[in-house]
Amino acid sequence: MLPFLLLLAQQYVSGGEILEARLEAKADEGADVAVRLTYRIEARGAERVAFSALEIDGVAIEEISAFASETPLRVAIEPRSGPMREGSIAVPKDTSAIEIRYIVRGGAEPTEDGLRVRLPCVVLDLKIQDTRTGLFSSMVQLPDGLSVVDGFPSHPLAGADGVYRWELPLVPTFVAFRASSGTVLLTPPRVVTTAVVVLFVAVGFVGVRRARASGA
């Protein structure tokens, strides 16, 4: 399922481009998570910009609104059809940034030792001309005492005041992670790392035994 989550909504719109995207959210004790996703764009000649968001794994996106310099923009939302939520945003001439605000219903799910968080990204249907590290970044604040133990599509960097940051060269469809009050010894990245280490140790051990056998 994870490779599917990383699919990008990149239906090209003539004259439009995503230059930068920044997601901000705060996960607390409630199940719903408020998200702000700010895009820096070039949308030459476009009167409307389409968007899409993936609703799977029990989450739903509601109360979608958009702003340019705090001025509300007209948002049209298509009826739900399958897992994809789609719509469009009216873009005034010379708009260089759009802030999209929405609520992710069921975005934070309590677990035995913390939270499981799944935040769909509302992705603009504009092309990305130049993929680079940091084109997309996200900052998610967690309750006190919790820390991220594994994340998708990448592991985050811990910041101050319980804020975790992700950086990617593309806009993902999802930011998802598990947060725990303890230390999980075997997360998927650690399992892979451990397997590689064990493999190298095993290969080295076999090599030493063969070297000793040939010298005897």
- CA distances to 47, 167, 184, 207, 209 from 199, rounded to whole Å, are 56, 30, 22, 12, 16
CB atoms within 10 A of CB 177: 22
pLDDT tens-digit map of 20-75: 999 999 998 789 999 999 999 998 777 899 999 999 889 999 999 999 999 999 99
Can you name the residues that pair with 43 across neighbouring β-strands?
16
pLDDT tens-digit map of 159-179: 767 788 888 999 999 999 999
For residues 139-160, one letter each, b for 16 or more C-beta atoms within 10 angstroms of the residue's C-beta and e for the rest, the string is bbebeeebbbbbbbbebbeeee
Q: Which two tokens stand for residue 130?
A: 């130049």
Which residue is it, tokens 């469009």? 88
Per-residue pLDDT at 4: 37
Handedness of CA 77, 78, 81, 84 (dihedral sign): negative
Q: List CB contacts of 106: < 8 A, sequence separation 6 or more.
A: 31, 32, 58, 59, 60, 118
Q: Which two tokens stand for residue 78?
A: 């298509």
pTM over the 0.85 mark:
no
Classify residue 193 as exposed, middle or buried by CB count within 10 Å of its CB (0-12, 13-18, 19+). exposed
Per-residue pLDDT at 183: 55
Task: Give the confidence band of 194 by pLDDT, cuts at 50, 70, 90.
Answer: very low
